[in-house]
Structure 1
Amino acid sequence: MRETHVGPKVILKRLREFMARAMDSQERLDLIVREIARNMDAEVCSFYVLRSDNMLELYATEGLNPGAVHLSELRLGQGLVGTIAATARPLNLTDARKHPAFAYLPETGEEIYSSFLGVPILRAGRTLGVLVVQNRNKRGYSDEEVEALETVAMVLAEMVAAGDLPRLTRPNVDVDMRRPFTLVGQSLNEGIGLGHIVLHEPRLVVTNLFNENSNAEIEKLTKAINSLRLSIDDMLSRSDVASEGEHREILETYRMFANDRGWIRRLEEAIKNGLTAEAAVEKVQSDTRARMVHLTDPYLRERLSDFDDLANRLLYQLMGRTRETINADLPTDSIIVARSMGAAELLDYPRERIRGLVLEDGASTSHVAIVARAMSIPVVGQVKGVVSLSENGDPVIIDGDDGKVYLRPVPDVESAFVEKARFRARKQKLYRDLRDVPANTKDGRHITLLINAGLLVDLPQLDESGAEGIGLFRTELQFMIASTFPRAHEQEKLYRNVYKEIGDKPVTFRTLDIGGDKVLPYFRSKGKEENPALGWRAIRLTLDKPALMRTQLRALLKASGGRELRVMLPMVTEVGEIYHTRKLIDREVAYLTRFGHAMPTRLKLGAMVEVPALLFQLDELMRVVDFVSVGSNDLFQFMMAIDRGNSEIAHRFDQLSAPFLRALRKIIEAGERNNTPVTLCGEMAGKPLLALALLGLGFTRISMTPSAIGPIKAMLLRLDIGDLQKALLAELEKTTTATLRSWLTIYAEANNIAL
């Protein structure tokens, strides 16, 4: 055998020359495999590309039958090449034919070769193909040779990603980078979004792959790592980062990775082999993700995400990029794709350019989902693997109604959704035409339709929807998107702006509802709770922290001088909590009056009925408040002992169940007995069939997302509410079925009521 002159630097130098020349893409590939074989003293070098039909096609070869190029193929998982592609791990064999996965392809003529080295072609953890070298004699390839082939494979990955390959001749088949995917997740907000992907953590494209001076690149890497370590240490030392908590654990993990000598050594080795610092980071990141992507342990998978985030931060440092420069030219039809993101991060994007949001994580109660619903952005969560499958600019469709994501959709799917979007747009126009039509039923009953809000961006939708006011203003959203507790003057400014925007329409402010699933990273709780939904949250928390409650009450009182102020208390469990709050309000009124501040013309205090214990205190409750609002989401969750975020059980129970509807009817009857207005402001109010049940129970005030106003108004305009109430209450009294969903559906169809 000739003396090997293997070395990544030598190969990369020649590859750089080939890539700089103007030539046919097939000719370039043929030169590349020939150079790899020559440099590694191999008799065969073959390059396989993974197609969208899960077949690996031979794209170029030196040593095998040249007539097999573009004809020879293996299934993913078939043979040695298919095994490498499926596992994303190299194979180094002295006698390939003895390996159990060996598959003989007679058209290639490879049966005479014994030794085999194959490495996956990886990009962002995805396998795009396989690169192989072979020899007749039985030999083991050295670690240096494996490293050399992996380095070359990274360069080939960029060629595949850039589309710098011969065009495929097979109809309806493309390379895997452009393969269509249908991904199933969980609907977090309804709506259809058609557009192009914008990765929230953009995968920076490394164009400068080959280094001129390894020492200079290592010095550049060292400076970037030191800067990264300093930024992490700075975040950990900040006063608003608590000494305990999940967010601190993440930063500690970042610090551990940033100081890991094994990681840094692999980066330096890649640079010494001829890559630039940024190309080295991308190579090591992709290798690590490929090794760990099949892990099932959720803790280890979370650590993989932490590692990805850290590597991306290092790439930003090396390439001198900032989020501002990357987001400067967002497409007008952006679909944001992220593993996870905070509510404040979503608000950083220009709303007019966002058509949808896709999350690998996320639940219906997550902060970002709540904000997205407020902004009427379709959201699909729990879409596993979507980030690694996506590239910036990929066409995508998200179906927030069914919880599906169509990545790089085929033309037929795209056409179907274009028509579906047009149909929705036509319906929305019909709803907009109803904006100024009074919400009166056929028999002349007026129904007060209100919206739920929590941010200033919600408020223009008050007029656009034709709603009569805000039935629930979630004051905690201001806290959730802030990095520290909003100061008193910041809260007051928000509440003044709310009044300014809504004019003379009413608004009901719910006091701070944090705790449970609404965790503020800068707020230290009393320790980990085993069941936070039933723990230290909402009114329980704010009464234990009177300074927090008094600051908010003072801001509300000052902002509403000269107007009616409506304040609602969340998670009330017993009437004593209302008495306690009234004392705090009286104290703040006395304080502000003493210093000459204008007071509200009238102050109305209400409570949310969310805790089942209040069902046994209804008359006493109605006598001590000015109004009540039913929080149907939590009340249903607590009555039925259902974690509404648990997809395993949520579908088994129905908000139209007879026991729950009977409980709602009892609240209406107590309100009527005590002449106390009752509103429902949960998700039930925004769904026509469920709202039909509410009207039949006797609710005349319901609050919902702005986009639901039109469909609900269209439904009630065709409704004879007297007939419905008589029929529904009779059915509710005698029914033995678990749910009235079928009965209500049949009633709506029989009476031509639009749902």
Structure 2
Amino acid sequence: MPFSDATGRRLLGRLREYMAGGGTVQERLDRTVRLIAEELRSDVCSCYVMRAGEVLELFATEGLSQTAVHVTRLRVSEGLVGEIAARARPLNAPNAWDHPSFAYRPETGEDVYASLMGVPMIRGGQVIGVLVVQNRDRRAYQDIEVETLETVAMVLAELLAGTDLIPRDELGPVTGNAVLPFRMEGLALNPGAVIGTAVYHRPKVHIERLISDDPEEELRRLREALKALRQSLDELIQTHVDLSGDYREVLEAYRMFADDAGWVSRISDAIRSGLTAEAAVRKVDDDMKVRLAQASDPYIRERLHDLEDLANRLLLHLTGQGMTSAQGELPEDTILICRSLGPAELLDYPRGFVRGVLMEEGAPTMHAVIVARALDIPVIGRLDGVFSRIAPFDTVALDAGNGQIFVRPSDDLRETFSESVASRQARRQAYLAERDRPFETRDGVPVRILMNAGLLMDMGHLEDTGAMGVGLYRTELPFMARPSLPDVATQTVLYQKIRDQAAGRPVVFRTLDVGGDKLLPYWSSDGEDNPAMGWRSIRITLDRPAVLRAQVRALLRASAGADLDMMFPMIATVAEFEQARRLLDVEVARERARGGALPSAIRVGTMLEVPALLYQFPELLRKVDFVSVGSNDLLQFLFATDRGNPRVSSRYDTVSVPVLRLLRQVREQCDAAGKPVTVCGEMAGRPLEAMTLIGLGFRSLSMAAPGIGPVKHMLRSMDFGEVKRYVNALVESSDPNPRRALRAFARDHGIKID
């Protein structure tokens, strides 16, 4: 008799009885594998559980030798069982012995079994075991059999989660000494410094019922919960209408996920297999976590947080808990502790109560971090074990600028930290007081200080900082915050808004710079061994000229009647610049032919990021209107050092003698050709480095908004003539530690670099 949906539902019904019965976990597992083997007409059913050190241990079996139980172990990626765990995907092998990953374990007595089907047991997005069936004859298992085994594996995962067989859940009791102070380090995602009280973010919803006899009733409950979910999201977005521009677009894109037909269809299919609506949502959520977490595209992996947030919200509506858990009594200085956040979850909390966020996961471009920037909430991510080390209501001092937190700080440390926070506030006030003063040195030498931006909301910092314009507008960030490629009309409106908010100040638009660590969700990627030096930036848009032409067309239309400054990123050869310039010329001719208004002037430059361009520099300078030194990429390529890798990023210094000589040479060649040059990136935004760059002769620096105040403070305290003489002498020296020498010089001459 062929396997059917009815067979699967009967199996789940019997499994529910087995799980409700008495006995130890081992006894229930033994009964369960016998039941699965019987219902799936398999000669073998085995359950492997993940143990410490990523080892899968045979925990129960029907068909293999019982003496192998708790003896046979396979590492993740070892054998077919290890392959299933490593890939977190089912495996259907009609002849297991021919599979390249097969590993023979003689103690199991599996010599007589040919075919194998296995599925991962997933909970919380992590593989906690593997469920396997085997048969003597060679056979390809049906899709419905694979799907049924996946559903059974989900139910077993919930059973095991309540035991000591798998690691403690993230929200379990804090282990270790809970009173001693300690420090943790993570990834700075949004700067700021605060002291507050630790509060756990909403815990995962507990599911009471897993199996249902009435799929139609569960589908009805799902439809009602989805309706309530969508309504609550609409109300939430409407409540926060003041979050305009790109931040609002983030929320709108997030809202679209709730209407995703594929997501709803997968949940509905899981319900029809015999699960309750809650269990179906959890199953689909866990499956999506594993699949998206394995994606090579970081942007796609980060959308996992959006889907997880939606799933948890849907579960709250299904269980009748609503969204009340975030609205309870909170300390007014809450430091939120979470594994990850969806973009709307911060908005669930009363405005002003959340002072900081600590995440086990997190990335700079995840939607929750973008919203946190809008709310001015400091965020630190990549804090492994944060739940096991920080207890609710612990005092936490958070220094998000440096990615550090101090848990249960001593009185002395709290006092010092509070003084530091107050000092930072005082410095911010001092920077604000200097906002309207000229950007010039003590001896009257003017320096052009510009701001880097990437979102519409960033433009408000022009007024806050007094910056003279935008030296780098990263056009790719709005592309990354949308679910599809924006058309010409959409881009034109965006660029017009940017120009409007600049209020007459110059804006230099950098064309689309994606690839590497900035892939778009609607562009597929095959994965690259070295994406930072792979198919990225101008290489992509020259290979896909329609994308570059559409962007250029939008920039031309948005700049009609005004000056347009634009530059191409990641140019490695003069020929690449010429090719990109020709595409611009085609669009200019096209606009002129259609009678469209053109910019009053068009200035075209390039980023200097690839060292190869230095050996073509004289030829390049004859073709460009200006140059922008992209210090971040230029220096990492110069030293062959990944600046994002903490093991090697500290092995070179941005003010080492080779760097200073290179930059002085670039400035001298630009001056000789009469072409303006600006230094962009992190180097320009740090006072010591900015002082050094000015001493090398650079008169234009572009930096992130937080760096403008400190750099201006430094600028107005330095004497250009003194700094120039010292820096140029240092360039000619062989000093192994120029940074130390520069610091000593600044201190001796009253230059404010701290």
Matched, 1:186 2:175: no
Q: Deviations over 1:702-730 (max 9, x none)?
A: 01111111111111111111111111111
Aligned pair partner of 2:316 in 313, 319, 344: 319
CA shift at 1:381, angstroms? 2.9
Which deviates the most, 516-525 or 677-686? 516-525
Give, in angstroms, the shift of residue 406 of structure 1.
3.8
- Check 1:397–1:548 CA distance in 2 against 1; reply closer, same or farther (3 A cut): same
1:169 aligns with: none
Match of 2:358 in 1: 358
Task: Indicate the percent of aligned positions where both proteins have the same amino acid.
Answer: 40
Structure 2 match to 1:748:
746
SS at match of 1:680: strand
**Aligned positions of 1:339-738 closer than 5 A:** 339=339, 355-362=355-362, 378-386=378-386, 396-406=396-406, 413-525=413-525, 527-737=526-736
Flag structure 2 segments of 5+ consecutive residues without an equivalent.
Answer: 1-15, 24-51, 60-122, 126-157, 227-256, 287-292
- When residues 598 and 179 of structure 1 are mapped into structure 2, their CA distance, relative to the original with a 3 A threshold, is farther
The DSSP-based 3-state class of the residue aligned with 1:690 is helix
Is contact 2:303-2:366 (8 Å) kept? no
Whole-Å separation in 2 of the counterparts to 1:707 and 1:373: 12
Q: How far did 1:556 drift? A: 0.5
Residues 1:178 and 1:336: Cα distance change in structure 2 (over 3 Å): same
For the 8 Å contact 1:475–1:512, the answer to whether it is kept is: yes
In structure 2, the CA distance between the partners of 1:427 and 1:690, relative to structure 1 (3 Å rule), is same
Alignment deviations for residues 497-520 of structure 1 (CA, whole Å, 9 cap, x no partner):
111111111110000000111111
What's the CA shift for 1:679?
0.4
Q: Does the C-alpha gap of structure 1 residues 337 and 431 become closer, same or farther in structure 2, counting only changes over 3 Å?
A: same
Moved more, 509-518 or 390-399: 390-399
Structure 1 residues 566, 326: CA separation in 2 closer, same or farther (over 3 Å shift)? farther
Q: Deviations over 1:312-364 (max 9, x none)?
A: 86654343179995798597766565545688998999997764443434567
Distance, in Å, in 2 between the alignment partners of 1:508 and 1:323 is: 50
Return closer, same or farther for 1:349/1:494 CA change in 2, 3 Å cut-off.
Answer: farther
1:238-317 aligned within 5 A:
316-317=313-314
Q: Are the structure 2 counterparts of residues 684 and 311 from structure 1 closer, same or farther at C-alpha, using a change threshold of 3 Å? A: closer
Please list, as runs of the form range in 1=range in 2, the aligned pairs for 1:38-77 lying within 5 A after superposition. Answer: none
Deviation string for 1:403-448 (max 9, x for gaps)? 2234566666555433322221111111110101111111110011
Moved more, 395-404 or 587-596: 395-404
Give yes or no for contact 2:515–2:535 (8 Å, CA) kept in 1. Answer: yes
Q: Please name the residue that 1:56 is paired with.
A: none
Classify the secondary structure of the residue corresponding to 1:630.
Answer: strand
For the 8 Å contact 1:188–1:400, the answer to whether it is kept is yes
Contact 1:192/1:378 (<8 A) preserved: yes
C-alpha spacing 1:433/1:176, structure 2 compared with 1 (3 Å):
same
Q: CA deviation at 1:641?
A: 0.2
Q: Per-residue deviation at 1:680?
A: 0.6
Q: Which residue type is aligned with residue 582 of structure 1?
A: R
User: 1:282-329: CA deviations, max 9, x gaps?
Assistant: 9x99xx9xxxxxxxx999xx9x99999999866543431799957985
Q: Is the Cα–Cα contact under 8 Å of residues 394 and 408 in structure 1 kept in the other structure? A: yes
Q: What is the distance in 1 between the residues matched to 2:655 and 2:697?
A: 15
Report if the CA contact (8 A) 2:326-2:349 is conserved.
Answer: no
Single out whichever of 592-601 and 345-354 deviates more from structure 2. Answer: 345-354
Structure 1: runs of 5 or more not aligned: 1-7, 13-38, 41-83, 92-122, 126-146, 164-172, 230-246, 269-276, 289-296
The 1:555/1:281 distance shift into structure 2, 3 A limit, reads closer
Q: Residues 732, 258 of structure 1: CA spacing in aligned structure 2 closer, same or farther, 3 A cutoff?
A: farther
**Structure 1 CA distance, aligned partners of 2:175 and 2:508?**
55
CA contact (8 A) 2:327 2:350 kept: no
Q: Post-superposition shift, 1:253?
A: 13
Amino acid at match of 2:694: L
Mapped to 1, the partners of 2:633 and 2:304 lie a distance apart of 37
Please list the CA deviations of residues 441-482 of structure 1 after superposition, one character each: whole Å capped at 9, or x if unmatched.
111100111111011111111111111111110000001111
Tell me the distance in 1 between the aligned counterparts of 2:697 and 2:187: 32
Match of 2:97 in 1: none
Bigger Cα displacement from structure 2, 188-197 vs 708-717: 188-197
Matched residues in 2 for 1:467 and 1:310: separation? 39
User: SS at 2:648's partner residue?
Assistant: helix
8 Å CA contact 2:679, 2:702 repeated in 1: yes
1:190, CA displacement in angstroms? 4.0
User: Which secondary structure does the structure 2 equivalent of 1:428 belong to?
Assistant: helix
**Which one has a bigger Cα radius of gyration?**
1
Letter in 2 for 1:397: A
Aligned 8 A contact 2:570 2:609 in 1: yes
Q: Counterpart of 2:451 in 1: which secondary structure?
A: strand
Alignment RMSD (CA, Å): 5.7
Amino acid at match of 1:617: Q
- Paired residue secondary structure (1:642): coil
Asked if the contact 1:696/1:728 (under 8 Å) is kept, the reply is yes
Cα deviations across residues 650-675 of structure 1 (Å, max 9, x unaligned)? Answer: 12221111111111111100111011
Query: Which residue identity lines up with residue 456 of structure 1 in the other structure?
Result: L
State the SS of the aligned residue for 2:732.
Answer: helix
Contact 1:366–1:518 (CA<8 Å) still a contact in 2?
A: no
Amino acid at match of 2:647: E
- TM-score scaled by length of structure 2: 0.63
Q: How many residues were matched structurally? A: 578
Q: Distance in 1 between matches of 2:294 and 2:713?
A: 46
